């Protein structure tokens, strides 16, 4: 029974890692599957609708309006944070720079979530950034819009996760509220770009991937808490780098080994049991 309960809490995280680490291969094979504000807007919308239809029952007590608004705002922040480059039209922002910036999310979660032993929770994020700096090409910092996007990405994502978890016990209503909040922000940006005449309809594969990843991310956050949830921003780059090594077989240097070890150490530490986090979140099984 204990193994079953543990699997019920961890299966969204396993799926999120598998899907997130494979997204780049899908985009490489099918460029139309690349994420955009349009696909994010439609993806969050369909995920919220499907979740509400399949999980929420008419007799379930609806939480207070303030709780739903906090969940909506938190969801908008944590789901729009990684996509802030699209929202700000930061076309020159490099993927390596965004990856390094998001690796600082655990630091923001530790501070914004008012977690005990903040100093002990900050170092994994810093270690992950140091490791990524050893193995990835350093991003250029010459474009103001891209620089602002990189600064906002971990702040919005970490603060949004802390706000989503601020209720203590999560309910089934929080996930659709969070998805709806993100869908509103992405839709507003999409509408503005559409009015300017620079947007085409997203592909079905992009919409499906973005919606599934957003829903899985919220399920992980509700089940495991903000600290463990933030481990994805160290573990996903590690998995992608390992895939690159297996596929491309580059020459492995001491610099690469040191960087990978730093990222792996940060990931493992963030996934360790967190005594201060909610371990009894109310989520569907």
- What residue has token string 């371990």? 279
User: How many whole angstroms separate alpha carbon 180 and alpha carbon 197?
Assistant: 25
User: How many whole angstroms separate alpha carbon 27 and alpha carbon 130?
Assistant: 27
pLDDT tens-digit series, residues 41-70: 999 999 999 999 988 877 777 778 888 899
Mean pLDDT of 108-122: 79
- Confidence band (pLDDT; 50, 70, 90) for 139? confident
> CA end-to-end span of the chain, whole Å?
14
> What is the per-residue pLDDT for 81?
96
For the chain, give every domain's residue range: 11-27+34-271
pLDDT tens-digit series, residues 16-27: 999 999 998 888
User: How many whole angstroms separate alpha carbon 142 and alpha carbon 137?
Assistant: 15
Mean pLDDT of 178-184: 96
User: How many whole angstroms separate alpha carbon 264 and alpha carbon 280?
Assistant: 27
Per-position b or e across 14-48, b if 16+ CB within 10 A of its CB: ebbbeebbebeeebeeeeebbbbbbbbbbbbbbbb
Question: What would the DSSP string read from start to end of the chain?
Answer: -HHHHHHHHHHHHHHHHHHHHHHHHHHHH-GGGS--HHHHHHHHHHHHHHHHHHH--TTSPPPPHHHHHHHHHHHHHHHHSTTHHHHTT-TT--HHHHHHHHTTHHHHHHHHTT-SSHHHHHHHHHHHHHHHHHHSPPPP---HHHHHHHHHHHHHHHHHHHHHGGGSS--TTHHHHHHHHHHHHHHHHHHHHHHHT---PPPHHHHHHHHHHHHHHHHHHHHH-HHHHHTHHHHHHHHHHHHHHHHH-PPP-HHHHHHHHHHHHHHHHHHS--TTS-S------
Q: What is the mean pLDDT of the chain?
A: 88
Mean pLDDT of 137-146: 86
> What is the per-residue pLDDT for 168?
66
Give just the sign of the alpha carbon dihedral 62, 66, 72, 77.
negative
Mean pLDDT of 252-277: 88
| pLDDT higher than threshold 70 for residue 278 | no
CA of 39: how far to CAs of 91, 143, 220, 221, in Å? 17, 25, 21, 22
- Torsion of Cα atoms, 192 then 194 then 198 then 202, to 10°: 120
> What is the per-residue pLDDT for 42?
96
- Confidence band (pLDDT; 50, 70, 90) for 6? confident
| pLDDT higher than threshold 70 for residue 178 | yes
| pLDDT higher than threshold 50 for residue 279 | no
| pLDDT higher than threshold 50 for residue 282 | no
Give just the sign of the alpha carbon dihedral 188, 193, 196, 202.
negative
């Amino acid at each position: 029974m204990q193994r079953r309960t543990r699997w019920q809490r961890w299966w969204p995280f396993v799926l999120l890692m598998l899907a997130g680490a494979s997204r780049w291969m899908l985009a490489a094979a099918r460029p139309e599957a690349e994420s955009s504000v349009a696909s994010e807007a439609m993806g969050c919308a369909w995920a919220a609708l499907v979740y509400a239809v399949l999980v929420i029952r008419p007799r379930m007590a609806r939480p207070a309006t303030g709780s739903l608004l906090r969940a909506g705002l938190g969801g908008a922040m944590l789901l729009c944070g990684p996509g802030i480059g699209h929202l700000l039209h930061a076309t020159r922002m490099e993927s390596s720079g965004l990856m390094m910036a998001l690796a600082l999310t655990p630091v923001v979660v530790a501070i914004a979530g008012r977690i005990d032993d903040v100093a002990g929770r900050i170092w994994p994020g810093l270690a992950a950034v140091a490791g990524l700096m050893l193995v990835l090409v350093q991003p250029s910092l010459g474009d103001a819009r891209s620089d602002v996007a990189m600064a906002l990405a971990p702040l919005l994502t970490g603060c949004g996760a802390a706000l989503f978890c601020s209720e203590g016990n999560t309910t089934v209503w929080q996930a659709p509220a969070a998805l709806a909040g993100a869908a509103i922000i992405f839709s507003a940006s999409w509408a503005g770009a559409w009015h300017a005449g620079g947007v085409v309809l997203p592909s079905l594969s992009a919409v499906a991937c973005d919606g599934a990843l957003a829903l899985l991310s919220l399920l992980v956050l509700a089940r495991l808490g903000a600290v463990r949830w933030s481990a994805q921003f160290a573990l996903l780059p590690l998995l992608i780098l390992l895939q690159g090594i297996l596929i491309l077989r580059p020459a492995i240097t001491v610099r690469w080994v040191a960087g990978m070890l730093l990222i792996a150490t940060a990931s493992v530490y963030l996934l360790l049991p967190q005594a201060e986090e909610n371990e009894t979140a109310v989520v569907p099984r």
